[in-house]
């Protein structure tokens, strides 16, 4: 058990050294103002999450939001239309948002870009707090903002 912990600690230390060396090489190439490079905070294998079933117009799906240290760090969005364009686009937005969150971008900055976006499917949601949505992404990010407020407050 302790050997596994020591191995894990050594791996983490090596990864940190590699990131710092890469950052140093990057800073040396840039002359003049100091440039900071965002560092991705990798997630642990086990994390706390919340899953939420939703509907937007005729589309149904599930949102899973994972938290690390009390902050939202990962989003999964699964819709009920396998192979559809909307499923691929929503999945891409979830992946890009998760990577941005792991690099320290606040959820509010991401959500501002998607809240009030308009495209089909849209319509009633079945959620009393968010009764109508102008798109799937409008609903998802409004719900995530409300969830983060509940987690923080």
Would you write out the chain's pLDDT as a tens digit for each of its 153 residues? 555 556 667 888 888 888 777 766 665 555 555 666 678 888 899 989 999 999 998 999 999 999 998 889 999 999 998 778 999 999 999 999 999 999 989 999 999 999 999 999 999 999 999 999 999 999 999 999 999 999 877
State the pLDDT at residue 16.
82
DSSP type of residue 71? E
State the pLDDT at residue 83.
78
DSSP-assigned letters across all residues of 107-153: HHHHHHHHTT---SS-EE-S-SSS-EESSHHHHHHHHHHHHHHHHH-
**Residue 29 belongs to what H/E stretch?**
helix 2-29
State the pLDDT at residue 147.
95
- In degrees rounded to 5, what are phi and psi of residue 127? -100, 125
Spatial contact of 70 and 86, defined as CB atoms under 8 Å apart: no
Spatial contact of 136 and 56, defined as CB atoms under 8 Å apart: yes
State the pLDDT at residue 32.
56
- Domain boundaries along the sequence of the chain: 1-37, 48-152
Pick from 42, 37, 52: which is nearest to 15 by CA?
42
Give me the numbers of helices (H) and strands (E) for the chain, helices first please. 4, 5
State the pLDDT at residue 20.
76
């Amino acid at each position: 058990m302790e050997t596994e912990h020591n191995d894990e600690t050594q791996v983490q230390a090596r990864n940190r050294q590699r990131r710092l060396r890469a950052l140093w090489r990057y800073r040396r190439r840039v002359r003049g103002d100091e440039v900071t490079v965002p560092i991705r905070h990798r997630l642990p294998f086990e994390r706390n999450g919340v899953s939420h079933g939703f509907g937007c117009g005729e589309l149904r799906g599930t949102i899973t939001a994972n938290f690390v240290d009390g902050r939202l760090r990962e989003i999964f969005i699964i819709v009920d239309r396998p192979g559809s364009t909307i499923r691929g686009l929503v999945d891409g937005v979830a992946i890009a948002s998760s990577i941005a969150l792991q690099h320290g971008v606040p959820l509010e900055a991401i959500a501002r870009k998607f809240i009030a976006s308009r495209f089909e499917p849209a319509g009633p949601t079945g959620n009393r707090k968010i009764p109508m949505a102008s798109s799937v992404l409008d609903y998802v990010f409004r719900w995530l903002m409300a969830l983060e407020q509940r987690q923080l407050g």
